[in-house]
């Protein structure tokens, strides 16, 4: 079986023998690449390959005859070898001869044998009469090669930063195995700047690719992208995905192929053959799928393929690809990009500039469009722009280029490419008043709005597609969030395309999920807090799995904004029972994390909801728990008023436990107001009430308050006695958090009373508990650090004292501006 005709074989034989005369020439170098391709198909070919003629006389066609025959046979069964030989012969043709190839002394001299011993050197004309001039033209042995392709898009002058991303890609290349083709995927949200970044990075490394840089837009955009200085320069709708066959044809022509095979498999084989050994960079822009990219991959380790895509193209990892996800610009770089159009206004209004950056989600495309608006309106202030972007349709619909809301269009394209299950989940999740989403919540939402929840496997598939498309970001184990600009787009689609009943059902599931998981966290963290008879029904939405106290508190911290959103929605929707119950379930969040404003707002809404639902028990709980939030916010008169109202209700209902809670709260307000006698009286009254009903935990907490009151009065002996007894009782009840608080207080009292070593030891033990585990609390961690600072200062160790004070101040800055200011004042003394 033969791949070539007899004439083609003669031409191939003569051409190979001819290139043997110049082993440093391009023909021999290209022939070495053909050899490498053939050896991959049949290693035996390597043994028949003649050595180049460097340092010896060429030997004519004889050494090549057997090799040509074997190559012909191999090409008949291996398309890559056949394509490589055909292309090599096209580039380096030579005329065949009936006899063996001559061996000239110098390749540049033409030698013509006429007859016998007669030899003519140089061009010769035989003619009888000649009129006029004679001109000799020596045709080139090789056709003119096309120019080295340099097809990358121009680099924008407004490209900023991305230093960390450049280093990441450089690190990928540095760690790449030397034998493997290099494939890098740059993924990210529409408008994040993938194209601009990849182009800029490759242009900076052009010297490393002397054989060229090829570019193809796989997204098929019909027009140039607006906002090109932003990165994904608009990514507007075009003709749809470009087929790999079309791209291969363009690439092969750019590299000089005179004929392109019809089939994609043949084109891909020729593509790998022609690029074998080339130091070539290929940028495949806006890819849709791994299948679209795979036929375009280089087969040589000397080249580099960079792919940009809104999806992560996880399938390319099978081909050895590394994926780098672009995030928004750093805040300072985002301001710099905004200043390109805003000029001096950015410096004059730094706060407004950063607000615009926040509203734009640090997305280069959004920032470039905002910058362009500023450039077009030189008298428009940054504050006015920020106000406009924060109202009405928001950034996604407000920023236009050539009359088009390019961000919305880009997100519409990403949404349209999703599977049906993911589109439904995207819309429903967009309706939620939350900034974090658990897989268990998404599973509850993935089911039909008219019926039960979907299976976990189906939900995971829908979530995976959203993550793959960079519309949903994974922030932790089984935890996700929308980008700030994706959220309003998803919400708009949910409002437009979900039915009123479907929207209500989605939000009902969300509130129920918040209630069930918050109740689970409450049971783990504060098991004695639950109101009797207020357990959730058995058919409640399944909660997120929480396996420990630390995990429960972490869940509350992560989802605090979503929980508050659920409380607000329940109040608006008239779900009164759910509103106050959810607020009550959130007690460990308020107790441990101390979000004062959220605490007060939730209990104001919960109090009104309890009244509307007719639950006096709920109203009393909202009053006492809410009063603690008011107290912690420094609103002592209002807190005392809530406690008194709670006491009146509890007395009327003969609810001794609630009476004790209200009385204890009044005592705490007195303690903070330095009315120590009134505080002591209230705490002793609460202790008697709690002991009368056998409420051991409450009695221990009353003793803790009496210990704090004695400490404030300077009665360290009484304080020590009360705290020791309270600690023993709380430890016996496994109240780890409350026991840790008493341990810290006792250590502080002992240190002040002269038992420094024992006191410091107890405070350090309490500090370790507050930093991790069941008793984690930033507020009490800060208190312990401040007391340890005081202990170090009292023994003259100012270095350690400053270290503790600074650590406490840094924690208080997130919790209490007043406490942080107090510690700042103390540190300034040194």
Report yes or no: 372 and 338 within 8 Å, Cβ to Cβ.
Answer: no
Structure tokens at 73: 């046979």
Do 303 and 385 lie in one domain? The reply is: no
Among 576, 591, 606, where does a domain finish?
591
Residue 75: half-sphere exposure toward Cβ, Cα within 13 Å: 24
Structure tokens at 592: 């441990």
The DSSP call for residue 3 is: S
> In the sheet where 479-482 sits, what is the strand order?
437-438, 479-482, 472-476
Do 171 and 276 lie in one domain? The reply is: yes
Say how far residue 297 (Cα) sits from the centre of its chain.
26
Do 437 and 518 lie in one domain? The reply is: yes
Question: What are the Cα distances from residue 411, in Å, to 190, 469, 481?
Answer: 7, 10, 16
Among 591, 619, 646, where does a domain finish?
591
Do 279 and 306 lie in one domain? The reply is: yes
Furthest CA-CA distance within the chain: 141
Q: Does 173 reside within a domain?
A: yes
CA–CA gap between residue 241 and residue 218 (Å, rounded): 6
- CA dihedral defined by 21, 25, 31, 33, rounded to 10 degrees? 150
Say how far residue 360 (Cα) sits from the centre of its chain.
16
Report yes or no: 12 and 69 within 8 Å, Cβ to Cβ.
Answer: no
Report helix, strand or coil for 225.
coil
Do 212 and 310 lie in one domain? The reply is: yes
Angle between helices 616-632 and 636-652 (to 10 degrees): 160
480 backbone dihedrals φ, ψ, rounded to 5°: -140, 160
Q: Where are the alpha helices (DSSP H) in 469-533?
A: 486-497, 500-525
Q: Does 188 reside within a domain?
A: yes
Report yes or no: 541 and 443 within 8 Å, Cβ to Cβ.
Answer: no
Do 446 and 536 lie in one domain? The reply is: yes
Q: Which residues of the chain have pLDDT under 70?
A: 1, 21, 51-61, 94-145, 157, 220-240, 392-393, 402-403, 447-456, 538
CA–CA gap between residue 543 and residue 548 (Å, rounded): 14
SS (H, E, C) 578-632: HHHHHHHHCHHHHHHHCCHHHHHHHHHHHHHHHHHHCCHHHHHHHHHHHHHHHHH
* Number of domains observed in the structure of the chain: 4
The residue written with tokens 């009164």 in the block is 576
Nearby residues of 299 by Cβ (< 8 Å), 6 or more positions away: 181, 272, 275, 276
The pLDDT, as a whole number, for residue 131 is 57
CA–CA gap between residue 679 and residue 663 (Å, rounded): 10
The residue written with tokens 């990358």 in the block is 152
Angle between helices 560-573 and 596-613 (to 10 degrees): 30
> 274-299 burial string, b = 16+ CB within 10 Å, else e?
bbbbbebbbbbbbbbebebbebbbbb
Beta bridge partners of 285: 217
Question: What are the Cα distances from residue 807, in Å, to 591, 744, 749, 791?
Answer: 21, 17, 21, 15
Q: 167-173: long-range contacts (C-beta < 8 A, 24 or more apart)?
A: 168/324, 169/201, 169/324, 172/322, 172/324, 173/304
- The candidate with the shortest Cα–Cα distance to 663, out of 644, 641, 691, 638, is 644
Q: Does 111 reside within a domain?
A: no
The residue written with tokens 């580099």 in the block is 304
Q: Does 798 reside within a domain?
A: no
Nearby residues of 786 by Cβ (< 8 Å), 6 or more positions away: 804, 805, 808, 823
Do 433 and 556 lie in one domain? The reply is: yes
The residue written with tokens 């490498």 in the block is 36
Report yes or no: 518 and 556 within 8 Å, Cβ to Cβ.
Answer: yes
DSSP string, 284-327: EES---HHHHGGG----TT-EEEEEESS--GGGGGGT-EEEE--
Report yes or no: 437 and 429 within 8 Å, Cβ to Cβ.
Answer: yes
Q: Where are the alpha helices (DSSP H) in 377-438?
A: 382-390, 394-398, 406-416, 420-430
Length of the chain: 830
The pLDDT, as a whole number, for residue 225 is 39
CA–CA gap between residue 723 and residue 727 (Å, rounded): 6
CA–CA gap between residue 273 and residue 267 (Å, rounded): 10
Q: Does 518 reside within a domain?
A: yes
Q: Tell me if the pTM is above 0.75.
A: no
The pLDDT, as a whole number, for residue 406 is 77
Beta 479-482 vs 437-438: how paired, if at all?
antiparallel
Hey, how many other C-beta atoms are within 10 angstroms of the C-beta on 270? Answer: 25
CA–CA gap between residue 665 and residue 641 (Å, rounded): 11
CA–CA gap between residue 614 and residue 616 (Å, rounded): 6
Hey, how many other C-beta atoms are within 10 angstroms of the C-beta on 697? Answer: 17
Do 439 and 584 lie in one domain? The reply is: yes
Do 201 and 320 lie in one domain? The reply is: yes
* Residues of the domain holding 213: 163-325
Q: Does 175 reside within a domain?
A: yes
Hey, how many other C-beta atoms are within 10 angstroms of the C-beta on 335? Answer: 21
Q: Does 297 reside within a domain?
A: yes
- CA dihedral defined by 293, 294, 299, 303, rounded to 10 degrees? 20
Hey, how many other C-beta atoms are within 10 angstroms of the C-beta on 158? Answer: 18
Do 397 and 443 lie in one domain? The reply is: no
Exposed / middle / buried, residue 392 (Cβ in 10 Å: 0-12, 13-18, 19+) = exposed
Do 309 and 337 lie in one domain? The reply is: no
Hey, how many other C-beta atoms are within 10 angstroms of the C-beta on 117? Answer: 6
The pLDDT, as a whole number, for residue 221 is 55
Report yes or no: 433 and 566 within 8 Å, Cβ to Cβ.
Answer: yes
Among 534, 565, 591, where does a domain finish?
591
CA–CA gap between residue 39 and residue 46 (Å, rounded): 6
- The candidate with the shortest Cα–Cα distance to 720, out of 731, 710, 735, 728, is 710
Q: Does 375 reside within a domain?
A: yes
CATH code for the domain in which residue 169 is found: 3.40.50.300
The pLDDT, as a whole number, for residue 22 is 73
Beta bridge partners of 476: 479
CA–CA gap between residue 621 and residue 619 (Å, rounded): 5
CA–CA gap between residue 316 and residue 765 (Å, rounded): 51
Report yes or no: 766 and 780 within 8 Å, Cβ to Cβ.
Answer: yes
Sign (positive/negative) of CA torsion 483, 484, 490, 493?
A: negative
Cα-only R_g, the chain: 39
Do 310 and 337 lie in one domain? The reply is: no
């Amino acid at each position: 079986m033969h791949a070539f005709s007899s004439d083609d074989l003669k031409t191939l034989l003569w051409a190979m023998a001819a290139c043997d005369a110049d082993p440093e020439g391009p023909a021999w170098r290209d022939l070495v690449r053909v050899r490498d391709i053939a050896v991959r198909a049949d290693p035996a070919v390597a043994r028949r390959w003649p050595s180049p003629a460097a340092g010896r006389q060429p030997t004519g066609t004889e050494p090549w005859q057997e090799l040509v025959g074997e190559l012909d046979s191999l090409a008949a069964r291996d398309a890559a070898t056949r394509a490589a030989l055909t292309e090599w012969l096209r580039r380096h043709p030579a005329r065949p001869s009936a006899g063996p190839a001559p061996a000239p002394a110098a390749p540049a001299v033409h030698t013509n044998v006429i007859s016998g011993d007669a030899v003519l050197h140089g061009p010769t004309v035989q003619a009888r009469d000649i009129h006029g001039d004679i001109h000799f033209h020596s045709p080139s042995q090789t056709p003119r090669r096309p120019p080295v392709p340099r097809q990358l898009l121009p680099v924008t002058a407004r490209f900023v930063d991305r230093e960390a991303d450049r280093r990441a890609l450089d690190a990928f290349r540095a760690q790449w195995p030397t034998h493997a083709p290099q494939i890098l995927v740059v993924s990210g949200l529409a408008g994040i700047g993938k194209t601009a970044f990849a182009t800029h990075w490759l242009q900076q490394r052009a010297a490393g690719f002397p054989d060229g840089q090829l570019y193809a837009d796989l997204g098929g955009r019909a027009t140039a992208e607006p906002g090109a200085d932003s990165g994904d320069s608009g990514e507007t709708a075009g003709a749809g995905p470009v087929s790999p066959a079309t791209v291969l044809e363009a690439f092969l022509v750019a590299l000089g192929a005179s004929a392109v095979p019809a089939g994609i498999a043949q084109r891909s084989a020729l593509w790998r053959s022609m690029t074998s050994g080339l130091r070539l960079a290929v940028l495949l822009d806006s890819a849709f799928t791994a299948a679209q990219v795979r036929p375009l991959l280089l087969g040589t380790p000397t080249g580099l393929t960079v792919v940009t895509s809104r999806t992560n193209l996880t399938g390319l990892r099978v081909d050895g690809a590394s994926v780098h996800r672009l995030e928004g610009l750093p805040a300072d770089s985002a301001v710099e990009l905004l200043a390109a159009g805003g000029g001096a206004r950015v410096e004059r209004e730094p706060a407004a500039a950063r607000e615009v950056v926040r509203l734009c989600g640090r997305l280069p495309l959004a920032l470039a469009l905002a910058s362009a608006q500023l450039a077009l309106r030189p008298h428009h202030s940054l504050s006015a722009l920020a106000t406009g972007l924060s109202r009405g349709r928001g950034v996604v619909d407000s920023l236009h280029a050539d009359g088009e809301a390019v961000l919305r269009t880009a997100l519409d394209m990403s949404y349209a490419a999703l599977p049906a299950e993911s589109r439904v989940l995207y819309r429903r999740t967009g309706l939620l008043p939350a900034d974090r989403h658990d897989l268990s919540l998404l599973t509850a939402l993935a089911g039909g709005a008219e019926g039960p929840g979907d299976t976990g496997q189906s939900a995971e598939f829908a979530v995976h597609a959203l993550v793959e498309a960079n519309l949903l970001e994974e922030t932790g184990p089984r935890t996700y969030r929308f980008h700030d600009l994706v959220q309003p787009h998803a919400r708009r689609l949910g409002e437009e395309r979900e039915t009123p009943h479907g929207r209500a059902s989605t939000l009902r599931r969300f509130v129920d999920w918040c209630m069930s998981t918050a109740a689970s966290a409450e049971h783990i963290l504060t098991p004695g807090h639950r109101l009797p008879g207020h357990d959730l029904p058995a058919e409640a939405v399944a909660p997120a799995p929480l396996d420990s106290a630390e995990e429960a508190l972490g869940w509350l911290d992560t989802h605090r904004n979503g929980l508050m959103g659920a409380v607000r929605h329940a109040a608006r929707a008239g779900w009164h029972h759910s509103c106050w119950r959810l607020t009550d379930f959130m007690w460990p969040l308020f107790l441990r994390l101390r979000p004062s404003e959220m605490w007060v707002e939730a209990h104001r809404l919960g109090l009104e909801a309890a009244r509307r639902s007719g639950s006096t028990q709920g109203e009393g709980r909202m009053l006492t728990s809410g009063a603690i939030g008011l107290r912690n916010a420094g609103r002592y008169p209002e807190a005392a008023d809530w406690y008194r109202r709670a006491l009146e209700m509890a007395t009327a209902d003969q609810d001794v436990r609630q009476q004790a809670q209200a009385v204890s709260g009044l005592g705490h307000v007195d303690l903070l107001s330095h009315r120590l006698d009134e505080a002591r009286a209230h705490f002793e009254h609460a202790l008697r009430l709690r002991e009368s009903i056998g409420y051991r935990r409450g009695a221990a907490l009353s003793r803790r308050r009496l210990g704090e009151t004695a400490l404030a009065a300077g009665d360290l002996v009484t304080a020590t006695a009360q705290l020791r007894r309270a600690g023993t009782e709380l430890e016996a009840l496994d109240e780890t958090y409350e026991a840790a608080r008493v341990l810290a207080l006792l250590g502080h009292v002992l240190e002040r009373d002269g038992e420094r070593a024992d006191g410091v030891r107890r405070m350090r033990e309490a500090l370790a508990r507050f930093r991790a585990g069941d008793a984690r609390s930033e507020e009490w961690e800060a208190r312990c650090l401040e007391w340890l600072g005081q202990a170090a200062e009292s023994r003259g160790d100012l270095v350690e004292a400053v270290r503790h004070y600074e650590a406490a101040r840094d924690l208080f800055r997130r919790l209490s501006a007043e406490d942080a200011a107090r510690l700042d004042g103390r540190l300034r003394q040194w």
